[in-house]
Amino acid sequence: MSDQTESKPETVEVAEEKPVDPLDTPVAETPNEEVEDKKEDAEKDAAEDADASVLDVTTVDEKAKLNGDDDKDSKKKKKEKKPKKEKKPKAPKEPKEPRAPLFEPIVVDTLDRDPTQLNDQVKLLFTDVVAEPDAGTYSFDNVWVFSYRAFSCSKLWCYRIIALILGLPLAICWGLYFAALSFCTIWCCMPCLKAYNIKLGIGRKFYAGFINAFLAPLFEAFGRCFSSIKVNLSKDATNVV
């Protein structure tokens, strides 16, 4: 039995290996090649973006040109439509009158100090006071000359000294006096006279109305009564022998 039941040898099937094609086998890429591929992709993307931006810029420029041309055409049409206005010659401006200053400059003439001949009666010379009529009353020549000079010099310098001492105070006093007098005349006397004239004007109207109403017709009637009187004057010619 043992012989009959001998184990049969086990058969192992081995798969047949197919021949490998060298073209079908994948090749592992190196890191340098990966970097180059990325650079190429980035360059392509940059080029596409640049092309797109150029296209956008060109379209914007074209639109701006078109808009600019339209604006220019519209402006030209407006200019052509509007007729030019004739410029009227401007009238010359009248010069403005200068304003009077608050304090006018005082100009004093030191040569002619009596322009209105107010004190002509004070003009005196030595010959207006002392005069020798003829040769019988002549003094010595030197006496006459020195007397003339003494009179003129004493009159001049005495006047100047008195004017130096009293001229300025008296000028202030007279200035105050005439200022007060001017104030009274302007603010007191003339308004009173004006008011008096206004009141007299009212009385004048009453008086004129009374005369025209009562006296004028009376005197007109008397005048007509005496207007019919006629007087004839005749001269008789008489011959006297």
- Domain residue ranges in the chain: 42-70, 140-226
Given a cut of 90, whether residue 149 has pLDDT beyond it is yes
User: Could you tell me the pTM of the whole model?
Assistant: 0.43
**Which residues does 125 contact at the CB level (< 8 Å), separation at least 6?**
152
Q: Report phi then psi at 63, rounded to 5.
A: -65, -40
How far apart (Å, rounded) are the C-alpha atoms in residues 63 and 69?
10
Overall average pLDDT of the 169-180 stretch: 96
Given a cut of 50, whether residue 13 has pLDDT beyond it is no
pLDDT score at 17: 47
pLDDT in tens, 109-126: 788 888 888 888 888 888
CB neighbours of residue 126 within 10 Å: 15
How far apart (Å, rounded) are the C-alpha atoms in residues 132 and 139?
8
Given a cut of 70, whether residue 234 has pLDDT beyond it is yes
